[in-house]
Amino acid sequence: TLHVMNLEYMKVSLFEITPDIFYPFSSAAGDRNPAVEDGSSPVIQLSSPFLFFGRTYRQIYVNNNGHLTFNQPSSVYTPYSFPTNGSQDIIAGLWTDLDNRVKGVVSYQQYTSGNVLTNATLDINTYFPNLKFNASWVFVAMWNKVAYFRHIVSSGLISGSNYSFILMNYGDIAVTGHPVQAGYDTVNSIHYFVIPGSNRSSSISNLRISSNVDVPGRWAFRVDSGLRNSILKCKSLIYR
């Protein structure tokens, strides 16, 4: 881990060596979650509205236990089994009992220009051809080496041209005894998805070699409209 002090802007950046599937990421002052058990970020105002299955959101919360919520933070550390038929939309990169007081960093960053948008545009057009997509905004949340186990996960939200997508990226994840789940769920579970095997704690280390877009460790979903668009346009499933 390398800490770099930018004296001009008085910010500290954290650069991590991560697999190629992760977008370049620096954790600057102001975009790290507090080291609080079952804590969350403050409300984050989005630089661009994000359309999630028909609902438009302008804010988000990054929760320390591995998931994103829109209307309010969540301290819940035991994942609900999707579908929950609940009252909130949720994106779970890897929802489980984490504790960033002990080790690791939970952080987030937004992009409206630069190489991250270029990479996102190329990725989405590869996974969802014929859309002629151009990314105008990317939001990345990362749970990096958070206790109680080796844990590198990021959830990326991508939007542009009235389309919205989620990328879930997985590095090394050790087996845990805690309940786990990865995927997403919507209000009343009209749309939901559970990444195969992610709700079995004994097999979550396989997430780094699983995929629905032929890129080990990455899952991609279109989420601006219905379930058909979100999954069926993706490529073949890899899960071992």
pLDDT tens per residue across span 76-99: 888 899 999 999 999 999 888 776
CA angle (49, 157, 206) in 5-degree steps: 160
Q: One-letter amino acid identity for 122?
A: L
pLDDT of residue 204 exceeding 90: no
Find all residues with CB under 8 Å of 88, minimum gap 6, and list them. Answer: 69, 70, 71, 72, 187
Give the pLDDT score at 30. 44
In this structure, are residues 4 and 12 in contact, taking their beta carbons and an 8 Å threshold? yes
Give the pLDDT score at 28. 53
C-alpha–C-alpha distance, residues 9 and 5, integer Å: 9
Give the pLDDT confidence of 91-144 residue by residue, as tens digits: 999 888 776 667 777 888 999 999 999 999 999 999 999 899 999 999 999 887
pLDDT over 90, % of the chain: 47
- From the number of C-beta atoms within 10 Å of its C-beta (0-12, 13-18, 19+), residue 87 rates as exposed
Give the pLDDT score at 118. 95
> In the numeric block, which tokens belong to residue 40?
């969350």
In this structure, are residues 167 and 123 in contact, taking their beta carbons and an 8 Å threshold? yes
pTM, two decimal places: 0.83
C-alpha–C-alpha distance, residues 78 and 92, integer Å: 12
Q: What is the rounded average pLDDT of the residues 2-15?
A: 26
Q: What is the mean pLDDT of the chain?
A: 80
pLDDT over 70, % of the chain: 77
- Largest separation between any pair of C-alpha atoms in the chain: 49
Give the pLDDT score at 231. 55
Give the pLDDT score at 233. 42
* Helix and strand totals (H; E) in the chain: 2, 13
Q: How confident is the model at residue 25 (pLDDT cuts 50, 70, 90)?
A: low
Give the pLDDT score at 173. 82
